[in-house]
Amino acid sequence: MPDLSHVDDYPEIPVSLRSSRGVLRTGDWRNMRPVLAERVSACTHECPASVPIPRYFHHLAAGRLEEAFATFTLRNPFPRITGRVCPRTCEAGCNRVDREGPVSIRDLERYLGEATAGLPHLPSAEATGSKVAVVGSGPAGLSAAYYLRRSGHEVVVFESQPEAGGMLRYGIPEYRLPSAVVDDEIARLQAMGIRFRTGVALGGDLDLGNLEDEYDAVFVATGAWLGRSMGVEGESLMESGLDFLVASHDAGVRPPGRRCAVVGGGNTALDVARTLRRLGAEATVLYRRTPDEMPAIGEEYRAAVEEGVAFEFLTLPRALRKDGADLVVTLETMRLGDPDDSGRRRPEPTGDDREARFDAVYSAIGETASLEPFPDALKGGDGWLAVGPSGETKADRVFVGGDLATGPATVVEAIAWGRRTAEAVNERIGGGYEVPDWVAEQGDGVVGPTDINPATFPDTDPHHAPHLDAAARLAAGMGEEAGTMTDAEALAEIERCYSCGYCNECGTCFVFCPDVAIRWEDGPVFDYTFCKGCDICTTECPGHVILTVKEEEVARG
């Protein structure tokens, strides 16, 4: 220190002559402190598989493909599949939904899937010596097989069909999910060491009791494939919609005539109708309620309308008969009555009948699971399987899941169930896979729209993956209808993400901290020696990742 006995010893400005870090420990003034508190984004919260969406977006944006893939597959092994067929509940939850529309999460998921299609799956944990059988190779079975294998178990997947994939391969039409993608994903699972045995059916070559003896655990996810009976006269003249979808994967399949009708309002019905249009037929959907009650995914309905599928609502087939080459269907007009158990208004008959002529009528009123292979010991009082939240049954070694447990549901719900069961199996027989620290550190609060600091983000319209228009879709036949975003589109779309609850290292807190009390070490680090607890970083944090907590609460733990 100069002795300051002469004016020339002084600085031009009032400034400390020693380092202020030594003398001004402003953190002593603090009674509140900022903490980095990662929480669950609204999109992740709405995702049945809980995919950590902002986190993998951040890795993608930073060019860290392998990290993005590892982050995604922590929750869902198949971004190439759900990136095509997911109903996007995440996007409905996106905090940007009421601004210019949600972030195009599914398109980005597909982008991730395609960008990482050549990567092998993460290495499996050390071998446990345990063996697990998975019966059924649909999304639930494949997901469980993946997580069980990753946990170090020996895994064998049994499939009754000639090829693995279940509904992914046989139920979902080619134009939504090409078989080649399913082939690739099965091959990638095989490369992990998962074995597949096809053409063996439970109740046929396979016996549940034998599997229980031979394996440490058995996961049955055989799906819901049984068509339901409508109980109408001449029902045997109808064809199974699901069988038609299975057959549609073979080139050269043609509908039996030009005038086709599909009975039902679910995803299978619409898949059948849209497939019929692609194969050159006319398709009329006969549904006993109105569009508001249809269980099908909304975007499937809109696409069907665009493709010229006709809809006759409040219409119920009462009888079918042959008249020469024609199928004559008696249709009764319905009206909506009071809500039923599902909350949807119940269709009631009006007695008003009419006739219509078709070349073929497909039934797609919902599928159900076959319980034939299961012993009564596994059934509950209602005659259905007694199933715990993670697929536990009354038998120690037997777990069930997917559509078999839930009834017809979405691919992503089946994938989520598969992972849940794999974890339940691990709890029972040991084994597991490495889970990064953030999973345990993440709070369970959900970041909502009012938590966000939207002013940080410019108004930007969403970017979408290419999608054929209706005419081009029909012209493409069973060819895939959607494409993948370019790198530039994907990066621009990730820019739109608010990164709710997840620190994507945007640096806003660092810039705004008036006390230089945030150091940057691959992310913000609070320097509590100097942080006064002013709350500015919390206020400015765009994704609401920083919270301010009372010091006394910190002291209490």
Partner 1 sequence: MGERHLLTGNHAASYGAKLSRAEVISAYPITPQTTIVELLSEMVASGELDARYITVESEHSAMAAVIGASAAGCRTYTATSGQGLALMHEMLHWAVGARTPVVLTNVTRAMAPGWSIWSEQTDFLSQRDVGWMMLFAETVQEAQDFVVWMYRVAEQVFLPGMVAMDAFILSHTSEPLIVHDQAAVDAYLPPFDPLYTLDPAEPRAYGGLVNRDHYFEIRYKAFEAMERAGRLLVEAGEEFGEALGHRYGPVDPFMMDDAEIVFVSAGAMTSNVRYAVTLLRERGIKAGLLRLVAFRPFPFEEVRRLLEGRKVAVLDRNMSSGHSGIFAEEIRSALSMGAAPTEVYGYVLGIGGRDIRVETVLDVADDLMSRDEPARTLYVGVKGLPIGPARADREIARLAPLEEVSP
Residue 419: which of 33, 56, 77 has the closest Cα? Answer: 77
CB of residue 518 vs partner 1: minimum separation in angstroms?
Answer: 10
Residue 509: which of 36, 21, 30, 41 has the closest Cα? Answer: 36
- Vertex 552: Cα angle to 546 and 553 (nearest 5): 55
Residue 102: exposure state from Cβ atoms within 10 A (0-12, 13-18, ≥19): buried
Among 19, 31, 342, 450, binds partner 1 (CB under 8 A): 19
One character per residue 497-516, x = contact with partner 1 (rule: CB under 8 A): -------------------x
Q: Of 210 and 456, which CB lies nearer to partner 1 in the complex structure?
A: 456
CB of residue 545 vs partner 1: minimum separation in angstroms?
Answer: 22
Q: Of 164 and 517, which CB lies nearer to partner 1 in the complex structure?
A: 517
Q: How far is CA 357 from the centre of its chain?
A: 40
Q: Which residues contact 445 (CB under 8 A, 6 or more apart)?
A: 39, 40, 501
CB of residue 131 vs partner 1: minimum separation in angstroms?
Answer: 58
Whether 485 and 108 have beta carbons less than 8 Å apart is answered as: yes
Among 1, 3, 15, 461, binds partner 1 (CB under 8 A): 15
Quick check: helix, strand or coil at residue 214?
A: helix
CB of residue 496 vs partner 1: minimum separation in angstroms?
Answer: 22
CB of residue 181 vs partner 1: minimum separation in angstroms?
Answer: 45
Whether 135 and 210 have beta carbons less than 8 Å apart is answered as: no
Please state, in angstroms and rounded to a whole number, the distance separating the CA atoms of residues 392 and 389.
7
Stretch touching partner 1 by CB under 8 A, among 2-10, 194-202, 334-342, 539-547: 2-10
Q: State the DSSP code for 9.
A: G
Among 1, 3, 14, 437, binds partner 1 (CB under 8 A): 14
Q: Which residues contact 105 (CB under 8 A, 6 or more apart)?
A: 43, 53, 88, 90, 91, 94
Stretch touching partner 1 by CB under 8 A, among 3-11, 398-406, 484-492, 498-506: 3-11
Among 24, 319, 336, 492, binds partner 1 (CB under 8 A): 24
Q: Of 273 and 513, which CB lies nearer to partner 1 in the complex structure?
A: 513
Between 267-278 and 241-248, two packed helices, what is the crossing angle to 10 degrees? 50
Residue 13 within binding range of partner 1, rule CB under 8 A:
yes
Judged by CB under 8 A, how many residues of this single chain contact partner 1?
Answer: 16
Please state, in angstroms and rounded to a whole number, the distance separating the CA atoms of residues 308 and 260.
13
Give the helix/strand (H/E) hosting 246.
helix 241-248
Alpha-helix runs per DSSP H in 250-390: 267-278, 298-306
CB of residue 23 vs partner 1: minimum separation in angstroms?
Answer: 7
Residue 529 within binding range of partner 1, rule CB under 8 A:
no
Stretch touching partner 1 by CB under 8 A, among 19-27, 152-160, 290-298, 435-443: 19-27
For strands 32-36 and 546-550, give the pairing: antiparallel
CB of residue 32 vs partner 1: minimum separation in angstroms?
Answer: 22
Residue 554 within binding range of partner 1, rule CB under 8 A:
no
CB of residue 124 vs partner 1: minimum separation in angstroms?
Answer: 46
Stretch touching partner 1 by CB under 8 A, among 5-13, 70-78, 399-407, 494-502: 5-13
Among 12, 292, 382, 522, binds partner 1 (CB under 8 A): 12
Phi, psi of 366, rounded to the nearest 5 degrees: 110, 140
Residue 1 within binding range of partner 1, rule CB under 8 A:
no
Please state, in angstroms and rounded to a whole number, the distance separating the CA atoms of residues 243 and 246.
5
Residue 426: which of 148, 126, 214 has the closest Cα? Answer: 148
CB of residue 502 vs partner 1: minimum separation in angstroms?
Answer: 26
Q: Of 433 and 530, which CB lies nearer to partner 1 in the complex structure?
A: 530
Handedness of CA 513, 519, 524, 526 (dihedral sign): negative
Whether 201 and 188 have beta carbons less than 8 Å apart is answered as: no
Whether 390 and 399 have beta carbons less than 8 Å apart is answered as: yes
463-480 per-residue burial string, b: 16 or more CB within 10 A, e: under 16: bebeebeeeebbeeebeb
Q: Of 6 and 556, which CB lies nearer to partner 1 in the complex structure?
A: 6
Residue 536 within binding range of partner 1, rule CB under 8 A:
no
CB of residue 512 vs partner 1: minimum separation in angstroms?
Answer: 13
Please state, in angstroms and rounded to a whole number, the distance separating the CA atoms of residues 121 and 542.
33
Among 2, 4, 190, 357, binds partner 1 (CB under 8 A): 4
Residue 23 within binding range of partner 1, rule CB under 8 A:
yes
Among 7, 187, 251, 488, binds partner 1 (CB under 8 A): 7
Please state, in angstroms and rounded to a whole number, the distance separating the CA atoms of residues 427 and 422.
9
Among 2, 21, 191, 507, binds partner 1 (CB under 8 A): 21
CB of residue 517 vs partner 1: minimum separation in angstroms?
Answer: 10
Q: How far is CA 433 from the centre of its chain?
A: 21
CB of residue 9 vs partner 1: minimum separation in angstroms?
Answer: 8
Q: Of 439 and 511, which CB lies nearer to partner 1 in the complex structure?
A: 511
Q: Of 12 and 323, which CB lies nearer to partner 1 in the complex structure?
A: 12
Residue 279 within binding range of partner 1, rule CB under 8 A:
no
Residue 453 within binding range of partner 1, rule CB under 8 A:
no
Stretch touching partner 1 by CB under 8 A, among 9-17, 235-243, 454-462, 533-541: 9-17
Quick check: helix, strand or coil at residue 52?
A: coil
Residue 107: exposure state from Cβ atoms within 10 A (0-12, 13-18, ≥19): buried
Residue 455 within binding range of partner 1, rule CB under 8 A:
no
Residue 16 within binding range of partner 1, rule CB under 8 A:
yes
Residue 285: which of 207, 365, 349 has the closest Cα? Answer: 365
Among 11, 129, 407, 436, binds partner 1 (CB under 8 A): 11
Q: Of 14 and 557, which CB lies nearer to partner 1 in the complex structure?
A: 14
Catalog residues that contact partner 1 under the rule CB under 8 A: 4, 7, 10-17, 19-21, 23-24, 516
